[in-house]
Amino acid sequence: MTTTASQPTGCDRSRAATHHGAPPEPPRRDGLFASLHNRNFRWFVFGQAASTSGLWTQRVAQDWLVLTLTHNAFLVGVATATQFVPTLLFGMSAGLVADRFDKRHVLMCTVSTLGLCAAVLGVLCVTDTVQLWHVLVIAFLTGTAACFDNPTRSAFIHQIVGPEKLRNAVSLNSAIFQLGALAGPAVSSGLITAVGTGWAFIATGGWYVVVFGAFLAIRTSQLRVAPRLHRAKGQQRMALREIARRPVLLWPIVLAGVCAFFTTNFAVTLTAFAKDFHLDARGYGFLTISLALGSLVGALISARWPGSRLRHIAALAGGLAVGQLVAAAMPGMLTVGAAFVVIGAIGMPFLIATNTLIQLASGDSMRGRVLGVYMLVTLGMAAVGGPVVGFLDQVGGAPLGLVTGAVVIGAVAALVSRRLVHVAGIDLRTGLRLRVVRPRAKQ
């Protein structure tokens, strides 16, 4: 069956609700590791574990390299920010590529680029010829590859496991990333200490060889058939119009963007807490691990939570707001750490539910472009939010940043809930069933 560029297929319409596009709930699949029964997903997870190892090794090694070269913390931030610039430039184009081309082939190209960038930087370090501009150029190329990798990788999960196990698969994928956040920095520091920064980059290139091999091992005959999008004018604008007209796509992206503005920059807030409480590096590390541990717990909980609905997303966003208010009132390191465990355990299910709902609602012919917009919004808001959160934390301490974030997120969550009920005709109490609104009798 062929599809046009402007309309979803009949199969897509059956997965999205009639008027406002709320997707039907996938059948429940019990079991924490249900999606791992799929052979292709096992290979995907193996590759993701290797990719996460490479990501954290390269992230820590790059920061340390720039600090060693320049002794300037501001330039460390510039090098980190350089990796996010490609998403702002090419984010929507990356989603279009995910829809037009074979996703497995795109991912094999992106991981090859990531591995090559790491290896080149490693060789420059080992030969003692590396300069700051080398690092900035390679950071931009790495960010470009990651920009095209992210929406394609998310859409490829749906192609591997299908809608029934999508949430479980996204949850396990997120859990792997959080495990990397817990163990990765320690492994990276150990590599840098043992063999040097250059060889740490070269080891990262080796990890991406493993990822490439995992994609080779995936059997294409067992993948869901995804329609290819043929080249035509206005395909990116079409995705924007689709998002704007369907509450089931619009409101999760709005909420995710607002939450990303504040929650993605929790690292800034945690450094402010460390300053307020006069903590050393171990105290700051405790707060960071608390957030990562909570996120891991949240990812594992999500793996057993059947389905993703708009009411779940609105409720989780409200929970994030409450969690930030509680954290702002905590008097010491241990209580703040406990509060951030709870925040992580709420925030990760929010991200997973949002990702899952957007994928299920967007349809096969537009999934990559919608995910591209979603990632552009979240990463763009995170980039803009960093200086704002830092300013709030500097002026009023960490509690001011948290309270401001809680008020804004809570207000937007309440607004979205109200719009869903009164404008979209969606009843949150009954799981997004469309209401029949009868006209009132004239008085």
The string of pLDDT tens digits covering residues 370-379 is: 988 998 898 8
Per-residue pLDDT tens digits for 220-233 = 999 887 776 677 67
Asked whether residue 22 carries a pLDDT value surpassing 80, the answer given is: no
pLDDT in tens, 41-95: 999 999 988 888 788 778 878 888 888 888 876 787 678 778 888 888 888 888 8
Position of tokens 């931030």?
Answer: 77
The pair of three-digit structure tokens given for residue 341, joined into one six-digit string: 């465990």
Cα separation of 170 and 34, whole Å? 12
Q: What is the pLDDT of residues 213-259, one digit of tens each?
A: 999 999 999 988 777 667 767 778 888 888 988 888 899 999 999 99
- In the structure encoding, which two tokens stand for residue 285, read together? 């590390």
Q: Which domains does the chain have, with CATH numbers?
A: 35-222 (1.20.1250.20), 234-433 (1.20.1250.20)
Query: Quick check: 323 pLDDT over 90?
Result: yes
pLDDT band, residue 306 (cuts 50/70/90): low
CA geometry: angle at 157 spanning 154 and 162, to 5°? Answer: 130
Q: How many whole angstroms separate alpha carbon 114 and alpha carbon 66?
A: 19
- Residue 114 has what pLDDT? 94
Nearest-angstrom CA–CA distance, 348 and 175: 9
What pLDDT was estimated at residue 1? Answer: 36
pTM of the shown model = 0.74
pLDDT given at position 301: 86
Query: Using one digit for the tens of pLDDT, what is the confidence trace for 144-190?
Result: 999 999 899 988 998 999 888 888 888 888 888 877 766 766 677 77
Mean pLDDT, range 113-130, rounded to an integer: 94
Percent of the chain past pLDDT 90, that is, above it, reads 30
Nearest to 242 by CA among 3, 21, 18: 21
How far, in Å, are 55, 59, 241 from residue 288 at the CA level? 18, 16, 39
With 70 as the cut, is the pLDDT of residue 10 above it?
no
Q: Which percentage of the chain shows pLDDT scores above 70?
A: 84
Mean residue pLDDT of the chain comes to: 81
Structure tokens at 202: 């070269």
User: What's the Rg (C-alpha) of the chain?
Assistant: 22
DSSP of 281-292: HHHHHHHHHHHH
Extract the tokens encoding 208: 């991406």
